[in-house]
Amino acid sequence: MSLIAEHNRYYNGIILGFRVRKQLAHAKIFRVRPGNGYFGATKGCEIQDQYDYVVPDSITNTEGEPYRVLLAAAVLNWQTTITDEQKAEYNLRARRIGGLSGYNVYISDYITRRGVI
């Protein structure tokens, strides 16, 4: 059983169905997600959301430049500097954490150690 609000099934008066995804005509974005039992979403029932289509002003703003440089340095360091033994250690840490890869743990550590975030 799907609990999808009626207004999220329509676009310009046209019935779209229950599982519409992606954007339409650069006007609306639709997504389907499972209910998680929170915020009025019944657990196990699908919910369809509708949002206005938005394009960010700029993803290359000056405020984000230090973070982009740091991320690029972290990725390059993982690819060229870290040994296979060190990668294995990060993979082991990631398994203990769960839901991450050793690469993700390393990138997080690298950025955190440098104090930008």
Q: For residue range 28-80, what is the model confidence (pLDDT) as tens digits?
A: 887 777 776 666 667 777 777 777 887 777 777 888 888 889 999 999 999 99
pTM over 0.95: no
pLDDT at 10: 64
Can you give the residue range of the structural domain that contains 34? 6-52
Looking at the chain, the whole-number percentage of residues with pLDDT higher than 70 is 72
**Average pLDDT, whole number, for the chain?**
79
Q: Does residue 97 sit within a domain?
A: yes
Write out the two tokens for 47.
């919910």
**Could you tell me if residue 69 is inside a domain?**
yes
pLDDT bracket for residue 1 (50, 70, 90):
very low
Q: State the total domains in the chain.
A: 2
Model pLDDT, residue 23: 75
**Residue 90 burial by CB count (10 A; 0-12/13-18/19+): exposed, middle or buried?**
buried
Residues 28 and 71 in one domain: no
Identify which has the larger pLDDT, 112 or 22.
112
